[in-house]
Amino acid sequence: MGTQPSEDIPVLTDIVEPDGRASKFIDDTALFLGELEAHLTAMIHEQADELVHNALREMEALLLEQVSDRLKAELPGLIAKVIAEHFHGPGRSN
């Protein structure tokens, strides 16, 4: 870094007023960003909705499989119990 005397450092003293082009650019940019935000929001919401529905379908399938497996495992015992109660009475299931 070079050393400059402080009186040689340039200082901006002019006031810059925005013209109509800058205002239009700012308005166009704000409009573009608003549209981009709306589009991103819609796309992200759609993706999240799809992911949630897929997860629910997978959980439902897993739960159905677990219930089916449990019923398959318990059904022979239940049938044996009902048959025993039918022929031996409710108090003598063995």
Q: Is the pLDDT of residue 91 over 90?
A: no
pLDDT at position 5 is: 59
- Measured at the alpha carbon of residue 81, what is the angle toward residues 77 and 83, in degrees to the nearest 5? 120
pTM: 0.51
Burial environment of residue 84 by CB neighbours within 10 A (0 to 12, 13 to 18, 19 or more): middle
Name the more confident of 91 and 51.
Answer: 51
Six-digit token string for 89? 């009475």
pLDDT at 52 over 80: yes
Tens-place pLDDT, residues 11-48: 677 666 666 666 777 788 899 999 999 999 999 999 99
Contact 93, 84 (CB under 8 A): yes
Q: Number of helices (H) and strands (E) in the chain: give both, helices first.
A: 1, 0
